[in-house]
Amino acid sequence: MRFAIPNPPRKVALSQVPGAVKRLALTCAGAVVLVAAMGLLGRIATSRVGAERAFFDRAEEVPGVVSGIRLPPRDQRDGATAKLTVLYAYGNKERVVSDLATAAEYAEGLGRGAKVALLVNPDEPDAPREARYARASAEVLDLVWPSLGLGALLAVLLVGLEIRRTVRADLTPLRSGLLVWLTPDAELPDTRAEVVFPASYYRQDVLYKVKARIRPGRAPVRNAGKVLAAVVPSRPTWVRVIDEDLARELEWVG
């Protein structure tokens, strides 16, 4: 095998690195799916938040009297809900609502005859909500949009980090790195699967111990028992193994 490796800086494009464009495309596709999911959640959230705001705009606060309480088991009440049966009057009519949701911790302090505040929508007077619990739930909904915005920002950040990682991992060593011969600590298996192995190399009479990775489906460029790799001087313990497909694509071997 004849070598024709140019001195750094070398002209290496991302498209010349086998698998790099595919990995980047998969990351971008994942980010697009994530953003699309955020958009769908945004539409659902818009509908939900709009409905909640309409309820609070129209709801009237009326007093009610507790006639029954159903609490979850004592060891399951943290953050759980309880169900109340409440008597109340609205529209010159006595009414009763069962299964009225409220916070279990709040319901623990109530008893039969306790007074609670209800929010009643005039369009649905038989479906009130316990005021404290309803307002606390509305505060959680106010966090929906910041959360969705943060998710979209994270998707963009993910793509940016992957591009940066790909450039640092796949291009920087090839463009400006030094070429060294790694000596594996043990004989490498004859396999097309991914192999991570400890190795060492000398540079300027200094021995560096490293861990190298042979990508799945790739055969490294070998010289007897050694393996060719690129190393960036600023990170001497990080190496990028040169496989035969890459070496041929870059016309480093003939």
- The Cα–Cα gap between 119 and 139 comes to 16
Query: Domain segments of the chain: what residues?
Result: 59-129, 177-254
Opening angle at CA 52, ends 49 and 55, nearest 5:
155
- The Cα–Cα gap between 48 and 42 comes to 10
Q: Which residues of the chain have pLDDT under 70?
A: 1, 46, 140-145, 254
Picking from 110, 131, 109, 107, the residue whose alpha carbon sits closest to that of residue 121 is 131
Q: pTM (2 decimals)?
A: 0.51
pLDDT in tens, 119-154: 999 989 999 999 999 888 777 666 666 777 777 788
- The Cα–Cα gap between 236 and 72 comes to 60
CATH class of 59-129: mainly beta
pLDDT in tens, 50-87: 777 888 888 999 999 999 999 999 888 888 999 999 99
